[in-house]
Amino acid sequence: MTATLSPTARTRVIRSHERAESERSALYDVLDSGMVAHLGVVIDAAPRVLPTVFAYDPDGPDLDGTLYFHGSVASRSLVDAPDQTVCLTITLVDGLVLARSGFHHSVNYRSAVVLGNPRPVDEPAERDRALDLIIDHLVPGRAETLRPPTRKDLAATTVLAVSLHEASVKARAGGANDEAFDVEAGDTWAGIVPLTVVPGAPITNPDCPPELEVPQHVRALVRKRD
């Protein structure tokens, strides 16, 4: 594992060098906090971007660790993916930046971009682990409470892996950066409005037996993000 992110031309942040985070820990932070990735593939020469759940293993078998994602075997973007480079982008919107001019309005965010050629994960131990990681990425601690996948479950699922080698992280934080003459005018309010994703109270499925309590790993999720 390298300490800094890949400096390939494709993932070198061309604009706003000061916003490029070079530490791998910044990448893990974004991957930990993001619920869905936006997966970009090329279909008939046009880009297609679709949301997908994911997980990562910093000690996975690929160079610099492994990003896992999955889907139905019927999903066209996944079926086409192994033949080409894909892009997975995970973005957290942390706040709105309200400047004194329209031009300097912005969004506080953290965004990770990972490029790679997907590797189908067919080896049973790695595939099972990847599926557990994806569940635990949504709800930490849940995977071990579930029955193992059936043969039918597995037959309907494609698991793909991309190396975390070719990755970049970009972020913006802090208040509005205005032109000096706008600050001096002093007549327009500027600042930020933080945005947070907040989990609500769990809603039990109506087909659950009434005596079944909300498990600890679900209650912990609500407390943790509250």
Site for a copy of itself, residues 57 to 96, rule: CB under 8 A: 72, 74-76, 84-89, 91, 93, 95-96
* Single residue of 124, 206, 223, 224 touching a copy of itself by CB under 8 A: 206
Segment holding 79, helix H or strand E: helix 76-80
Please state, in angstroms and rounded to a whole number, the distance separating the CA atoms of residues 151 and 122. 13
* Single residue of 19, 20, 33, 36 touching a copy of itself by CB under 8 A: 36
- Closest contact distance (angstroms) between CB of 138 and a copy of itself is 5
Please state, in angstroms and rounded to a whole number, the distance separating the CA atoms of residues 52 and 37. 5
The β-bridge partners of 71 are: 158
Give the nearer residue to a copy of itself in terms of CB position, either 7 or 10.
10
Which pair of tokens denotes residue 38? 């936006």
- Other beta carbons within 10 Å of 106: 16
The reply on whether position 111 binds a copy of itself by CB under 8 A is yes
Please state, in angstroms and rounded to a whole number, the distance separating the CA atoms of residues 217 and 145. 9
Q: Of the listed pieces 24-32, 43-51, 57-65, 118-126, which binds a copy of itself according to CB under 8 A?
A: 43-51
The reply on whether position 102 binds a copy of itself by CB under 8 A is yes
- Closest contact distance (angstroms) between CB of 26 and a copy of itself is 16
